[in-house]
Amino acid sequence: MKTRSDTDRDKKFYHYFYAANLIQLLVKPNINFLEKLTLRAGEIRPNLKDNKNTILRSRYHLDYPLTVKNPLTNQVIVGEVQFYLISQTFLKDYLSENYEQQNLKLKANFIGTDYTYAYC
């Protein structure tokens, strides 16, 4: 995730978090839509493909965008938050008897952003 400095607008800070905790900050249920749904539960059947902004709220919501802050620095998150899946490519070799002599290599696969998570 990326945040800006309060004093120098050109200075940016990058932070790394565990994805499950970050999703709880970036995407929330849309309470307004859920209240309408419970009041008229027998009358409507929402078409989720037509209106993706109804159930979830995020920073990209058209009617009620969230302002999400970094929990460590309390600064507003700027730009898209990118998610990567980190994997150990030589884990089987690492667990062998000669693990001290082997180089550990981590592999990062890009899996999406907070926008693709919420709306795609």
pLDDT, tens only, 100-113: 655 667 788 899 88
Cα distance between residue 83 and residue 115, in whole Å: 11
The tally of domains found in the chain comes to 1
Residue 98 within a domain: no
* Distance separating alpha carbons of residues 92 and 17, to the nearest angstrom: 26
pTM of the complete model: 0.64
User: pLDDT of 19-31, one tens digit each?
Assistant: 888 888 888 877 7
Q: Say if 103 falls within a structural domain.
A: no
| Domain boundaries, position 17 | 2-82+113-119
Within a domain: 108: no
For residue 73 the two structure tokens come to 């620095």
**Residue 96 counted as domain residue:** no
Task: Give the model's pLDDT for residue 23.
Answer: 83
45 close to 78: Cβ distance less than 8 angstroms:
no
